[in-house]
Amino acid sequence: MAKEVRLIVLISGNGSNLQALLSACDTGQISANILGVLSNRSEAYGLRRAEKYNIPTIVFHRLTNRADYDEDLGNLVATFKPDWIILAGWMHILSMKFLEKFPNKVVNLHPALPGQFPGTKAIERAYTAYQQGQIEQTGIMVHLVPDEGVDDGPVLATQTVPILPDDSVASLAERMHQTEHALLVETVRKLVVGEIDVKALSN
Ligand code: GRF
């Protein structure tokens, strides 16, 4: 029998990308089990989404300094023996205290193309840049997180997203979210079946 692939998902909010992963694992589109969903915010709606699938949820508030928090978080996540740790709207920059425990296993989703708009409000900043004639399109990326670089690291997948002349921030955001749900699911599917050679990417 094939080895069970173990996923842990870290979230901070709505969890629509988590929902895409939950559905894909449930239907078998992704051949993996989500063993736990962890949030740094108790009000994160994604926790409710996980509960509907009877997946254990953990709220892990930051009560200590960053280094201690990341070390404790890493120890907690390690108890699940994850193959992959998916950051799906996780709003805390992980330090090496966490990352050194999971080389080539931490995957982040960011609503911008590589090198563009790192950090928060990437969709709004892309919209403004479009209005100012600086860009014609934006996009989504999924990447490995080897170090503390923000929304930076070996790229696993990208998808461009058009910005239309009559877009509002809301209509662009809707198109971005639809695109990221599909790209995240497809990228995790490929990782799980070994279609992406992560070690080659990170060398
Ligand atoms: C997504 O746009 C993701 O790319 C960004 O935060 C947002 C999270 O959305 N990092 P959700 O919580 O998955 O709905």
Atom number, ligand 1, closest to the C-alpha of residue 173: 2
Q: Which residue has the tokens 């089990």?
A: 33
CA 13 to ligand 1 center in whole angstroms: 8
- The confidence score (pLDDT) of residue 63 equals 86
Catalytic residue among 110, 143, 177, 181: 110
Radius of gyration of the chain (CA): 17
CA 15 to ligand 1 center in whole angstroms: 7
Q: What are phi and psi of 75, to 5 degrees?
A: -65, -40
User: pLDDT tens string for the chain (203 positions)?
Assistant: 566 999 999 999 999 999 999 999 999 999 999 999 999 999 999 999 999 999 999 999 988 899 999 999 999 999 999 999 999 999 999 999 999 999 999 999 999 999 999 999 999 999 999 999 999 999 999 999 999 999 999 999 999 999 999 999 999 999 999 999 999 999 999 999 999 988 888 76
Nearest CA to ligand 1 atom 5: 89
Q: Does the active-site annotation cover 110?
A: yes
- Summarize the chain as % helix, strand, coil (round to 5): 40, 20, 40
Task: Reduce the DSSP state of residue 55 to 3 states and report it.
Answer: coil
Nearest CA to ligand 1 atom 2: 111
Domain boundaries of the chain, sorted by first residue: 6-109+145-158+179-198
Does ligand 1 lie within 6 Å of residue 88's CB atom?
Answer: yes
One DSSP character per residue, 123-163 reads HHHHHHHHHTTS-SEEEEEEEE--SS-TT-S-EEEEEEEE-
- The confidence score (pLDDT) of residue 3 equals 67
Burial class (CB in 10 A: 0-12, 13-18, 19+), 44: buried
Q: Which helix (H) or strand (E) holds 122?
A: helix 122-131
CA 1 to ligand 1 center in whole angstroms: 34
Architecture category of domain 6-109+145-158+179-198 in CATH: 3-Layer(aba) Sandwich (3.40)
CA 4 to ligand 1 center in whole angstroms: 27
Does ligand 1 lie within 6 Å of residue 17's CB atom?
Answer: yes
- The confidence score (pLDDT) of residue 62 equals 87
Whole-angstrom Cα distance, residue 102 to residue 88? 17
